[in-house]
Amino acid sequence: MGRDVIVACDFDSEQATLDFLARFDGRKPFVKIGMELFYATGPEMVREIRARGHKIFLDLKLHDIPNTVKKSMAVLSRLDVDIVNLHASGTVPMMEAALEGLTRADGTRPLLIAVTQLTSTDSDMLKNELYYDLENKSYANLLTLTLDGQTIDLSLYDRAPEGAVSSNYLFGDAVYGLNLNNLSKTVPASAIWEMLGVSYNDVKSMIEPVLESLKNAAAFDITKLTEKLSQAIENNCTISAADGQADTVVITVSFNKEQLLAVSQKIIDTVKEFMTYLGSASGSINGAEFDKALKALEEGLASLTDASAKIDYVINAQSRQLICIAFSCQGSAEGETFSLSGDFNMGTDPAGSESYIFSVTAQATGEDAFYTSINAVIERSSNADGVISRKLTVKTASEPDGEFTAALAAEFTLNRTTGEMVLRAESSPYKLSITGTAAVSENSFSMTIADITVRNDSSAEPLFRLEPNLSLTLTQLESMPQMPEYKDIFSLSQEEYTQLLTALQEKLPPIIDLLPGIPGDNGDEGDF
């Protein structure tokens, strides 16, 4: 069929590899050099096979911070191989760095491919179920992983102030958890201190602030602070109403300097209260730096010589719908001025509007003078064939009278009949396309990502292309998994701690051995 067949050289020595290649009786197959052979023999083996006339796929699946991958790819590029690869899970910055490092001074490079899913996996390998109960602030995560016939399960439950974890693979029928409200009782009395050869009093000064913070975090109700903040705004503003244009009513909320300072101080006080409640303002390493930053902010506000702000809410007088929000604020300090203004226009009928327009402009004079204006437009449309479209266009300007230039253009289309979904986005010089399917029913939403491609205007070939076949399903349920009965992790006996540690020591290493690509694994490099 005119295609190369890549032959895997999964050997642990130079001699075994050369003996294998000699069996091809003068032919020069395209070969794959994976981790096992490369780590055993090094780059000299690559050079030797290349010198014998073979094309080479160097299968090392690089995955690290972008700079490390860039430098490593530069080294691999000098080996004159034909294909190299990396893990797509390293995300775009890593892959961009890899491409940069791989490209030689003359512009040539090996083919770069990304590994998205290993061949030892299948569609049933990973199942992760997330449950949320917003009303009761409950959460559950049920994970099932299947590797080489071994099923590994892990379930997490959270309903403040309680949390629990279960795993039939790790713990059998046992479930472990804790109640944050009981930590002050359970931790001091725990058998773990005797096992460690210390007393609780020896570590009390370090442990108790942490326990108090955890307890406070579990009991804290942030709505109380937001209510205080809302009340402060209500008490420090001027509200007026007037007839607007085209059957509209404009409600204006305005602030003078004194009112703005009062609201700002309340915000600072609210943040202080929150951090103090968690024990961070006085008991943490960064507490002093945090207080210093707040003090600097207070001093900056005190230096204002003038300040004002207003928010206009434009309401359709007939439908009573909010159709536009406009805001502005300005001030001066130490001879410098600043201003921020913008609006969000949703049209006369927001629910049926074909476009939403958002604009914001920020500028300052003085030593740190700047000007930035951003305009964003969202367009909505649909046709008789059931195709809906959403477009986003973002433009920016850096001069008061300057022309706007395109910063981002994106379009999402969905065919409700076929389920075909396409997302395209462009921000020079990059172009992104994502294809897949989506379906919406009365109580569920499902989506599958089939293809992800990123291109660069300067290159005919894609920077990378992924085919993850990733599926997501959201379903509204009448109930969710409940918090199971559990053994408090700090109330275990020494014998129970020993049993737990023994189970972890026995069960965790085999998991690592099953994971492809981990040093010390079973040798399954899996990709093609």
**Could you give the maximum distance between any two Cα atoms of the chain, in Å?**
92
Q: What are the Cα distances from residue 443, in Å, to 110, 395, 418, 439, 524? A: 48, 37, 19, 11, 41
Q: Position of tokens 């290993």?
A: 118
Token readout for 307 is 């300040």
Token readout for 454 is 């990123």
Q: Decide: residue 329, CB within 10 A, 0-12 exposed, 13-18 middle, 19+ buried.
A: middle
Q: Is the bond leading into 350 cis (omega within 30 degrees of zero)?
A: no
Q: Catalytic pick from 32, 61, 70, 215?
A: 61
Does 28 qualify as catalytic in the annotation?
A: no
DSSP character string of 50-111: HHTT--EEEEEEE-S-HHHHHHHHHHHHTTT-SEEEEEGGGHHHHHHHHHHHHS-TTS---E
Give the span between the Cα atoms of 166 and 200, in whole angstroms.
27
Token readout for 154 is 């892990």
Report whether 70 contacts 93 (CB < 8 A): no
Give the span between the Cα atoms of 420 and 435, in whole angstroms.
8
DSSP character string of 448-489: EEEEEEEEETT-SS-SEEE---EEEEEE--S--PPPPP-EET
Give the residue numbers annotated as catalytic, written as ranges.
61
